[in-house]
Amino acid sequence: MSLAPRKRRTERHDSPSGLPQTVRTYSGLEEEKRRSPRPVPPDSSIRSEYFFSWSTGLILTVLAFIIRFWRIGHPSQVVFDEVHFGSFASHYIRREYYFDVHPPLAKMLNGLAAWVVGFNGDFGFEQIGDDYTSHNVPYVGMRSFCAIMGSITVPIVFGIMRESGYPVGIALLSAALVAFDNGHITQTRLILLDAALVLFMALSLFSYVKFHQYRYQEFTNWWWFWLLSTGGWLACTLGCKMVGLFTFLSVGAAVIWDLWEILDIKKGHSMAYVWRHFFYRVVGLILVPFLIYLSFFWIHFKVLKYSGPGDSFMSPAFQETLAGNELLLNAQEIRYFDTVTIKHKDTKQFLHSHADHYPLRYEDGRISSQGQQVTCYPHNDTNNHWQILPTKEIPESGRGRVVRHNDVIQLRHIVTDTILLTHDVASPLMPTNQEFTTIAPDDEDRKNDTMFKVVITDAHEGEPWRSLSGHFKLVHVPTKVVLWTHPTALPDWAYGQQEVNGNKNQQDRTTSWFVEDIIADGTGNDFKNRTTHVEPKKTKKVAFIKKFFELQILMLQHNAGLTSSHPYASTPVEWPFCLSGISFWTDSETNQQIYMIGNLLGWWTCAISLSVFVGIVTADMLARRRGLDPIEDAIRNRLYRNTGFFLGAWAFHYFPFYLMQRQRFLHHYLPAHLASALVAGSVLNFILVEVVNYPISYPGPKTRLRPAVRAKLGKTGWGVVSGLLVLVLGMFLWLAPLTYALTLTGEQVNRRKLLSSWTLHFEAKKNH
């Protein structure tokens, strides 16, 4: 494409936002078009184009369904993250509460699909390879729901390009880059979340394109419909995964640009008019989506009303809203002289001690106190037993023996008959934290170092301390450090048990503990004899908004905490070029595997298109600085604003992953890949045609009328598009055995390992 100066056309097409601006109506039909909610085809050629467009979209949709449903029942085993998202569907069927780092919409839809096809929720999806057919799981129906959403995404992509004014061939290419992409196909024919996520993201972009077409008919019914539609689909995108925030940013950037243009005094708008636009967009794109997003969690909480595997992640108050929760059934008030086991809330290990002592000198040369070791141990053991001793006078019986919030206590280790202590000695693994040890009960000189305050989470003054439900922090009175443990194991001298130390940060959320069980009371009797009759307890009520925000915070915290290594994790710099994939499933008996990888030629085409667009814009900006005008105004406006909108969507869905420390996988790039497919079509249109259909916007009462233009690819353009389609289709077919788990010999696997960084199974050994 030459960037040499050329003669400008007389028409100028300014756009107030990041989407295409076009001429306003077809000549000869002005009045009819002003009254019509949709453009009226002026002649048979336009009707033929519409028919061709709808036919192409229909054929694409049929092909998308075929390639996503072919062999959808194979393998008849749990594949990859079906372990998680299949089990979540079963929890919805059984109405048992679970915890996950993602919002609930896509999982609720999977649960609804499972219920529709007759799944009873009894199958656990415990590990990859578990057999569906022997347990009568209707997995094909559950997978089919995701495949339907993945198939519908393809015509939506086609529609985005057509509604943006691009020729049928260009829209066909962008849609084909998604339709025949092995990565999208793999991810959308299993019981996963990405089919819903990508569909709702595409619908958000489509709705905003349609909303922008009505910018000259502001505040009309159709204007409001597409504004609220955009907000609704944005809420659905966020309701699937937190990365839906990136779709909000994509649309939000275009909205800000749009409002900036409306604010221009040259437009002649009053500030009241500007504020009206601003307020209505806040309502349609922030308030309404927030309410819809809230509704997903309201339904989520209403459905999951029974105790389940997610209880322990939540606060005691939250847990007591769940029927059958252990806190409701077994939580008991703790009294002085009770013997208890204490468990760390996060690592689920018991506070433990034994007769062995710390070594005199650690490996780094530091000196210890050589006191008795205090550690954490994962299994039930008598060395986990601690007796709660008072530090004040208490009555012989009655309520005065109950331990309460902010009480100061001592903890006696039953087996060794010693008292828990911390002092100003560095812990074995963390020189900045204090060591925990124990001392003899008669050591009066150090008695002050054995004083600990029980600080119960979210408690009022005088609230009783309860087992199970009473999450607490144990604060050392003299030094203010908090009892804490972390997953790092101590050396062999401590039998590889978990270190316990004094954390100086009292706000650290990982310093919470709870009493797992009451072993005996102060008389030495079995605790059950004291509670032979326990009144049944009703579930408690907690305000929905409080439960909502508690879950949001936990989701964000645990999402950020997914930092452990994974053999198929990858970095964002690898994604646009498909440098690595993900092994979803293997069967060594048949040499079959599912390897999630993108269509290599398709992804490289998109990556090159992104670079070409940036190069074109840069060259145009430099040329204009030197007084040259290489691109006509109408084409520049469309290129900058429409293609720029698509590029922004790609950037917002891609670059934030560089800032994340959590595990990242290739499938996280799928929303960005869809946006890059839109960029690829736009760039190819600029190279081949440099013209787009207009009008695509609906005229207002003050719109100036201009002649219509229809973009045509021509023989050369269709030849280029057809060639690219053949290459993309060929690559799809070549990689299809890895997508559909077809049997391959070792040599066939080797030939499909197109990049050395791919980690395929069953490769044949190469002879040198």
pLDDT tens-digit series, residues 397-406? 777 789 999 9
Are 296 and 445 part of one and the same domain? Answer: no
pLDDT band of 704, cuts 50, 70, 90: confident
* CA-angle at 604, arms to 599 and 610, nearest 5°: 130
- For residue 429, the domain's CATH number is 2.80.10.50
pLDDT tens per residue across span 413-447: 999 999 999 999 999 999 999 999 999 999 999 99
Buried b (16+ CB within 10 A) or exposed e, 279-302: eebeebbeebbeebbeebbeebbe
Q: Determine what percent of the chain is predicted with pLDDT higher than 90.
A: 74
CB neighbour class for 627 (10 Å; exposed up to 12, middle 13-18, buried from 19) = exposed
Output the six-digit token pair for 28: 């000869």
Tell me: do 336 and 283 sit in the same domain: no
pLDDT tens readout for residues 222-247: 999 999 999 999 999 999 999 999 99
554 occurs within a structural domain? no
Residue 525 CB neighbour total at 10 angstroms: 10
pLDDT per position as a tens digit, 607-617: 999 999 999 99
CB 178 within 8 A of CB 184: yes
Give the amino acid at 240: C
Sign of the CA dihedral with 279 first, then 284, 289, and 292 last: positive
The torsion angle over the Cα atoms of residues 117, 122, 126 and 128, rounded to 10 degrees, is -30
Q: Please tell me whether residues 371 and 289 are part of one structural domain.
A: no
Q: Are residues 647 and 740 in the same domain?
A: yes
Cis peptide, bond prior to residue 75, ω within 30 of zero:
yes
509 and 582, same domain (yes or no): no
Distance CA 438, CA 414 (A): 11
CA distance 388 to 241: 45
- Judge whether 209 lies within some domain: yes
Residue 525: predicted pLDDT: 54
User: Hey, which residues does 361 pair with through a beta bridge?
Assistant: 367
Tens digits of residue pLDDT in 146-204: 999 999 999 999 999 999 999 999 999 999 999 999 999 999 999 999 999 999 999 99
Are 410 and 422 spatial neighbours (Cβ–Cβ below 8 Å)? no
Distance, in Å, from the CA atom of 533 to the CA atom of 620, rounded to the nearest integer, reads 83
pLDDT at residue number 535 = 58
Given this model, what pLDDT does residue 768 score? 56
- Domain of residue 382 covers 331-530
Give φ, ψ of 503 to 5 degrees.
-90, 130
How many separate domains does the chain show? 2
How close are the terminal C-alpha atoms of the chain, in Å?
Answer: 46
Residues 271 and 350 in one domain: no
* Cα 411–chain centre separation: 43
pLDDT for the residue numbered 30? 45
Confidence band of 2 (pLDDT split at 50, 70, 90)? very low
Q: Is the pLDDT of residue 339 over 50?
A: yes
Phi, psi angle pair for 593, to nearest 5°: -155, 150
pTM as predicted: 0.84
In this structure, the answer to whether residues 337 and 284 fall within a common structural domain is no
Domain final residue, candidates 530, 564, 583: 530
Q: Do 609 and 485 sit in the same domain of this protein?
A: no
Domain assignment present for 234: yes
Does the pLDDT value for residue 35 go beyond 90?
Answer: no
In a domain, 671, yes or no: yes
Residue 550 lies in a domain: no
Residue 528: pLDDT band (50, 70, 90) is: low
- Residues 375 and 287 grouped into a single domain: no
3-state secondary structure 582-633: EEEEEECCCCEEEEECCCHHHHHHHHHHHHHHHHHHHHHHHHHHCCCCCCCH
Last residue of a domain, one of 530, 554, 588: 530
Q: Is residue 210 part of a domain?
A: yes
> Are residues 672 and 714 located together in one domain of the fold?
yes
Please, are residues 13 and 637 in contact by the beta-carbon 8 Å criterion?
Answer: yes
- Note the residue count of the chain: 768
- Cα 188 to Cα 252: distance, rounded to the nearest angstrom: 27
- Residue 629's pLDDT is 86
Mean predicted confidence (pLDDT) in 492-500: 95
Higher-scoring residue by pLDDT: 180, 705: 180
Please determine, for residue 480, whether its predicted confidence score (pLDDT) is greater than 80.
yes
Band (327; pLDDT cuts 50, 70, 90): confident
Per-residue model confidence (pLDDT) at position 235? 98
Q: Which of 480, 552, 475 is nearest to 513 (CA)?
A: 475
447 and 579, same domain (yes or no) = no
Task: Determine, yes or no, domain membership for 764.
Answer: no
> 469 with 590, same domain?
no
Domain membership of residue 42 (yes or no) is: no
Domain final residue pick, 495, 512, 530: 530
Q: How does pLDDT run across 51-75, given as a tens digit for each residue? A: 999 999 999 999 999 999 999 999 9
- CA atoms of 160 and 503, how far apart (whole Å): 55
Strand partners, 423: 435
**Paired tokens of 159:** 């529609």
Residue 415: CB partners within 8 Å, gap ≥ 6?
Answer: 353, 354, 355, 382, 383, 385
Q: What angle do CA 7, 11, 12 make, to 5 degrees?
A: 100
Q: pLDDT band at 94, cuts 50/70/90?
A: very high
